[in-house]
């Protein structure tokens, strides 16, 4: 492996290779150009040692398993700010939804069935109060369409959200939406739109649906395309 080695597809890491472990902290002559990084490691020491060899200007997509010690990855600057982050959590017993509030990824995807309605409520509230940027998106995989519909109905009642669809056809013309679309104001120029989307069949995932929320420009302040 040489400096500026380009990794096509995804780089999946189960353990740090021995030749990298032997490199000292000041030996940073090796940088791999990786766009997609999948982490199946669980110790922060391994993470800290390996991430030094990744060209962060190229890295866009990170996926990791949230389990035990690897939860500390959520505090790492690269994890917090990478463009797209997928967190796979087998159980939510050891997770606190607060740990996700400081993330600033453009698209945060959560694969976990233990998130509660109260957790989701706190998640939405956090996004409203922190003023997320336009284009910021959150996806939560769900087993059934009815689960997402119930989530949307709960949030609509709790926050007093408005049901909309035609106003947002421009933003979501590339998505297949199902059921109601609800909207919350985020100041004068932004709205938080929440809806149900179907996962493409080619993904071969156990779940078929996602709860989605995305920050968009306020439709009343946006010219028609």
Which of residues 84, 114, 144 is at a domain's end?
114
- Assess whether 100 and 28 both reside in one domain: yes
Cβ proximity of 175 and 145 under 8 Å: no
Cβ proximity of 179 and 148 under 8 Å: yes
- Assess whether 94 and 148 both reside in one domain: no
Q: Tell me, what's the pLDDT at 179? A: 76
Structure tokens at 99: 């740990």
Domain that holds residue 187: 134-225
Please provide residue 42's backbone torsions phi and psi, each rounded to the nearest 5 degrees. Answer: -130, 0
- Inform me whether the pLDDT recorded for 204 exceeds 70: no
Distance of CA 63 to the CA centre of its chain: 9
Q: How far is CA 56 from CA 35, 78, 169, in A?
A: 9, 8, 35
Alpha carbon distance 137, 192 (integer Å): 9
Within 28-113, where are the H helices?
44-51, 77-81
DSSP category for residue 101: T
Tens-digit pLDDT profile for residues 65-99:
888 788 889 999 999 999 999 999 876 555 678 88
Of residues 197, 18, 51, 210, the one with CA closest to residue 120: 210
Q: Tell me, what's the pLDDT at 77? A: 96
Between 49 and 175, whose confidence is greater? 49
- Within a domain: residue 35? yes
Alpha carbon distance 24, 19 (integer Å): 11
* CB atoms closer than 10 angstroms to residue 209: 21
- Within a domain: residue 200? yes
- Assess whether 110 and 139 both reside in one domain: no
Most confident of 23-27, 144-148, 173-177, 216-220: 144-148
- Within a domain: residue 119? no
Q: Tell me, what's the pLDDT at 111? A: 87
- 17: buried, middle or exposed (CB in 10 Å: 19+, 13-18, 0-12)? exposed
Cβ proximity of 88 and 111 under 8 Å: yes
- Within a domain: residue 149? yes
- Within a domain: residue 123? no
Mean pLDDT (whole number) for 119-128: 93
Which of residues 83, 114, 145 is at a domain's end?
114
Average pLDDT, the chain: 84
Alpha carbon distance 31, 137 (integer Å): 30
Q: Tell me, what's the pLDDT at 74? A: 92
Q: Find residue 11's DSSP bridge partners.
A: 37
- Assess whether 86 and 38 both reside in one domain: yes
- Assess whether 79 and 185 both reside in one domain: no
Alpha carbon distance 139, 26 (integer Å): 38
Q: What is the model's pTM?
A: 0.87
Q: How many domains does the chain have?
A: 2
């Amino acid at each position: 492996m040489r400096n500026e080695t380009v990794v096509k597809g995804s780089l999946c890491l189960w353990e740090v290779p021995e030749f990298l472990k032997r490199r000292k902290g000041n030996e940073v002559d090796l940088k791999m150009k990786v766009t997609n990084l999948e982490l199946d490691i669980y110790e922060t020491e391994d993470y800290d040692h390996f991430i030094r060899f990744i060209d962060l200007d190229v890295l866009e997509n990170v996926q990791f398993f949230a389990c035990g010690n690897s939860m500390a990855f959520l505090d790492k600057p690269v994890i917090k700010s990478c463009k797209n982050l997928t967190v796979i959590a087998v159980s939510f017993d050891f997770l606190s939804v607060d740990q996700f509030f400081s993330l600033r990824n453009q698209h945060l995807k959560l694969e976990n069935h233990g998130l509660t309605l109260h957790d989701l409520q706190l998640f939405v509230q956090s996004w409203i109060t922190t003023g997320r940027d336009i284009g910021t998106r959150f996806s939560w995989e769900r087993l059934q369409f009815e689960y997402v519909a119930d989530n949307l109905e709960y949030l609509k009642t709790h926050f007093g959200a408005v049901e909309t669809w035609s106003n947002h056809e421009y933003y979501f013309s590339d998505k297949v939406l199902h059921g109601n679309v609800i909207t919350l104001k985020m100041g004068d120029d932004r709205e938080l739109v929440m809806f149900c989307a179907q996962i493409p069949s080619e993904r071969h995932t156990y779940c078929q649906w996602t709860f989605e929320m995305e920050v968009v420009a306020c439709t009343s302040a946006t010219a028609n395309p």
